[in-house]
């Protein structure tokens, strides 16, 4: 019995060699932290990483949905650390680091800022997704108010339920 391979599933020798070289070099670079080159490798590879991320994620507007597409049953409470309990009287949103005006905003100050609403697909790191309606202050507005430095490339987010995330500032 003869087997016929679909040419669409074949990889050219050139592409296979490219995969091998890129994979092999990443294995070699994996040990850089052990030999003192990690900082130089990071500085050299960061611009490429950022360009690749921008290409993969795109920088266009977030797709929006209609109100009738919101499915409350699909929205799950995260399982990271349960539902946070906030004391409205003592809650403060802190913005610090590479900013010209560090902030500690209480709920009244947040409510006084321009409010926005958006219906979008939320894709959770836990593996679920839902179309949800969000409203409140835009992060960009808070960062503008704090006077974020152009030297900052990332923001760190510590949530009320002890979840941690970092975002590329772009």
Q: What is the pLDDT of residues 75-121, one digit of tens each?
A: 765 555 667 788 999 999 999 999 999 999 999 999 999 999 999 98
Burial (CB < 10 A; 0-12, 13-18, 19+), residue 145, is middle
pTM of the model: 0.61
Single out the residue of 43, 22, 21 nearest to residue 32, CA to CA: 43
Kindly list the domain boundaries of the chain, sorted by start residue.
7-57, 67-168
pLDDT tens digits for the chain (170 residues)?
A: 445 555 555 566 676 666 666 655 555 555 445 556 667 766 777 777 667 666 666 666 778 999 999 988 877 655 556 677 889 999 999 999 999 999 999 999 999 999 999 999 888 777 778 898 889 999 999 999 999 998 888 899 988 877 888 888 87
Predicted pLDDT at 26:
58
CA 32 vs CA 28, 89, 113, 132, 148: distances in Å = 8, 48, 46, 42, 32
Cβ–Cβ under 8 Å, residues 96 and 147: no
- Please give the Cα distance from 99 to 116 (Å, whole number): 23
How many CA within 13 A on the CB side of residue 14?
A: 0
Start-to-end CA span in the chain (Å): 56
Predicted pLDDT at 54:
67
The CATH fold of domain 67-168 = Sulfite Oxidase; Chain A, domain 2 (3.90.420)
């Amino acid at each position: 019995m003869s087997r016929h391979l679909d040419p669409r599933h074949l990889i050219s020798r050139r592409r296979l060699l490219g995969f091998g070289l890129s994979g092999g070099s990443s294995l070699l670079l994996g040990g850089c932290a052990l030999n003192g080159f990690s900082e130089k490798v990071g500085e050299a590879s960061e611009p490429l990483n950022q360009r690749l991320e921008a290409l993969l994620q795109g920088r266009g507007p977030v797709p929006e949905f209609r109100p009738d597409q919101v499915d409350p049953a699909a929205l799950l409470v995260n399982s990271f650390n349960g539902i946070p309990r906030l004391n409205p009287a003592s809650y403060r949103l802190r913005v610090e680091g590479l900013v010209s005006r560090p902030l500690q905003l209480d709920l009244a100050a947040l409510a006084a800022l321009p409010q926005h609403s958006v219906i979008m697909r939320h894709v959770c790191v836990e593996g679920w997704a839902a179309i949800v309606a969000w409203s409140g202050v835009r992060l960009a507005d808070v960062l503008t108010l704090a006077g974020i430095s152009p030297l900052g490339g990332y923001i760190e987010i510590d949530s009320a339920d002890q979840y941690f995330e970092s975002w590329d500032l772009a």
